[in-house]
Amino acid sequence: MDAKQSYKLGKSDRIKSRKLVEQLFREGTVIQVPPFRASYLQVEQQGLQFGVAVGTRHFKRAVQRNRIRRQIREAYRLQKQQLQQALQQQQKGLALFVVYTGKELPEYSLIADKMNRLLQKLTQTVHELT
């Protein structure tokens, strides 16, 4: 482990462009790890950008949607290092958008476990892109 390893999720690490989100859903590759459906796309700039969404169909209250989004961002923030290192080694950039598709309010342990599996799958696909 690197001593200067950063666990932050700053503005530059988030997807803010509506065009990029639309492009992700139109052209991106989909990975399913229930309760997540993730779309990813290789981008020109190096690094890793992340976005998250929770639908209103199963969670009518904004409080519940915000809680799930916070938990997903936290699980991602703590576990993204391996994927970032793989991208840095290959000097590539990746945009990742995660949609929560579950029907009930999850525990953080479930979100953290499934996010770990999702990021491992992504890391394997990044290694296969060489």
Q: Which domain does 44 fall in, by range?
A: 22-128
On whether residue 1 sits in a domain, the answer given is no
Summarised one tens digit per residue, pLDDT across range 73-103 is: 999 999 999 999 999 998 889 999 999 999 9
Count of structural domains within the chain: 1
Omega before 106 within 30 of 0, i.e. cis: no
Please report, for residues 6, 24, 125, the alpha-carbon distance to residue 38 in angstroms, rounded to integers and kept in the order given: 23, 10, 13
- Could you tell me if residue 115 is inside a domain? yes
Write down the pTM of the prediction: 0.91
pLDDT tier for residue 7 given thresholds of 50, 70 and 90: confident
Residue 113 CB-half CA count within 13 A: 7
Give a yes or no: residue 92 inside a domain: yes
86, 127 Cβ separation under 8 angstroms: yes
Report if residue 9 sits inside a domain. no
Instruction: Note the pLDDT of residue 5.
Output: 67
Is 124 part of any domain?
Answer: yes
Domain-located, residue 45: yes
Pairwise CA distance, residues 72 & 44, whole Å: 25
pLDDT confidence of residue 4? 59
CATH number of the domain enclosing 62: 3.30.230.10
Report yes or no on 72 lying in a domain. yes
Confirm whether 102 is domain-assigned. Answer: yes
